[in-house]
A and B are shown apart, each in its own frame.
Chain A
């Protein structure tokens, strides 16, 4: 395709027309559009319905839930679950704070570390490229295990009960680096890099001033993955946080869920004791309410990332 030579004038004319929005060309037929819309609408519905279900359950009266099971249209509405949460107040607020803090800090640090490393890997002139790629490939598969990681984090890095134990283990991973490297390789034309090099740019400048603006979709993607990873993490909290004041929201939720689950499964062995323990657990509706409040913020944060990888809405894609 690139071989076909067009007169420069013709191209520029078309471009101007495009930018003026006059041309309706290169869009799909209306009928195809309808078809696509229909397919996507069905898929979206399938994805949204269970979530709506969860919201509805969280507003259902506990008794009617016990009586009728999960229903789309509950017998009786009740805001009890949310009242309970608000009254339990401080715990939830604190967890919210912890989660937001580690998510923001973690995503920033993660983007910096991932970006620098992936950039270096994307540069063909880099002598040590193969070595550093190997460095990240091995951990993708091999892990020392829960116990070894625990030892390093608590004994070597001394991070027990510190928020850094929640931030650092997640800020980098091989998958993100490799994906970002691919983005760098494909979205930065060699010509741009070379002309900048000729102008005497250092790798720093190349990276920060040229590559990053051009690779915004890729960065937004990795940023999104990092944010989601932090927001949903509970395992690190379980491992490293004995201090109950510093646990993130997801862990609060998972704890309740796994407790209820475990008690239900072990009724046989625990007998009567299991019943009294289970009686103290927060009810179903509260569980669902926690799911709702722990998911909503991230849903609101999502459009922030979305605009970077949606065509036509890209901010500042640079063309040479």
Chain B
């Protein structure tokens, strides 16, 4: 930062110059845009399947798509027809809401902690270790967790019994599972999520801190007035984007970790597991397409709302 800061300049150059700059930006956007055309927009015709009863009567997908009977919203009915629809939606939304909040709070705190450590070497080790859970699939993780929670031979029950308590039937007692699930989801994701915030902190101009210290600011004040405000853009954008996923869930977390145990369903059944179990026997691709469309639409609406709210408060950091 130069001591003699310049005021913001009037738009420089002629119209032609601005157009030239835009032309260059346009070219820079082209490769990505073409990719999106092929990999994101062209396949969108697949959404039509949600409204059809897909049958094969001739050669070629499109022929079959057009000759299949249009059933409009019939394929969506199964999402609401179960008596449990309320519980499932409740589980999905509550868990995701918690994940969204924790998914920002925990990594931010960790990033701050890591950043303040005196020994940089230790910091690297901690950060690398926290990354490891990301690499294990939920299947493998569920085996490891089982070693602890096994009602007969698991470590937890062994310790409990040592202290004179009664062994807990972990896989049939549902009251512990919300905590287990929330804990495990953070365990798996915190290393990964911390990276973004660490990188952001790294990009903060050091001279801000130096000036603050010269003014006699404490660590807390530095964090409150420099770090967090400068992290705001990243935090905001990540929050908005995660809102879009509120109806989606990490399948492995809710299906494999609890070992698909029936008595736990009231707290582990979410939209994705419900859909999976429902469509296991029917193979009706219209229904699975409808389910995905439903999840996407809700997420889209929510993102738009979240973005609108954010842009009212702080236009800089909105999505658009």
Which residue numbers of A lie inside 8 Å of B, CB to CB?
1-2, 4, 6, 8, 10-11, 14-15, 18, 25-28, 30, 32-33, 36-37, 39-41, 43-48, 50-51, 53-54, 69-71, 112-114, 116-117, 119-121, 123, 125-128, 130, 132-145, 147-149, 151-152, 156-157, 168-169, 171-172, 175, 177-179, 182-183, 185-187, 189-191, 194, 197-198, 202-204, 207, 215, 217-218, 220-221, 224-225, 228, 232, 254, 257, 261, 288, 291, 295, 298-299, 302-303, 306, 308-314, 317, 319-320
CB under 8 Å from chain A, chain B span 101-137:
110, 113-120, 122-137
Instruction: State whether the Cβ of B313 lies closer than 8 Å to any Cβ in chain A.
Output: no
Contact of A172 among B18, B32, B201, B299 (CB under 8 A): B32
- The CA-CA distance from A14 to B115 in the complex, in Å, is 21
CB under 8 Å from chain A, chain B span 257-271:
none
Most chain B CB within a 10 A radius of its CB, from A50, A156, A185, A224? A50
Residues of B within 8 A of A313 (CB): 120
Residues of A within 8 A of B144 (CB): 50, 53-54, 70
Which residue numbers of B lie inside 8 Å of A, CB to CB?
1-3, 5-6, 8-9, 11-13, 18, 20-22, 24-26, 28-29, 31-33, 35-36, 38-47, 49, 61, 110, 113-120, 122-137, 139-141, 143-144, 146-147, 150, 153, 187, 190-192, 195-196, 198-203, 205-215, 219, 222, 225-226, 230, 233-234, 237-238, 241, 244, 285, 288-289, 292-293, 296-297, 299-300, 303, 319-320
Residues of A within 8 A of B9 (CB): 194, 198
Residues of A within 8 A of B211 (CB): 1-2, 4, 6, 11
Given A151-B43, A220-B199, A254-B137, A178 contacting B319 (CB threshold 8 A): yes
Smallest CB gap from A71: residue in B: B147
Tell me if A37 and B122 are in contact (CB < 8 A): yes
Residues of A within 8 A of B119 (CB): 37
Residues of B within 8 A of A308 (CB): 199, 202
- Can you list 23 residue pairs at the A/B interface with Cβ under 8 Å? A11-B210, A44-B129, A117-B32, A139-B40, A144-B46, A145-B43, A145-B292, A147-B46, A147-B285, A148-B43, A148-B45, A149-B46, A168-B35, A172-B35, A177-B32, A202-B21, A204-B24, A221-B196, A228-B192, A232-B135, A288-B140, A309-B199, A319-B206
The smallest C-beta distance from B40 to any residue of chain A, in angstroms, reads 4
Tell me if B136 and A51 are in contact (CB < 8 A): yes
Across the A-B interface, the 8 shortest Cβ-Cβ residue pairs: A148-B46, A144-B43, A144-B46, A117-B32, A139-B40, A203-B24, A309-B199, A148-B43
Tell me if A291 and B136 are in contact (CB < 8 A): yes
The smallest C-beta distance from B31 to any residue of chain A, in angstroms, reads 5
Tell me if B29 and A47 are in contact (CB < 8 A): no
Tell me if A182 and B198 are in contact (CB < 8 A): no
Tell me if A186 and B24 are in contact (CB < 8 A): no
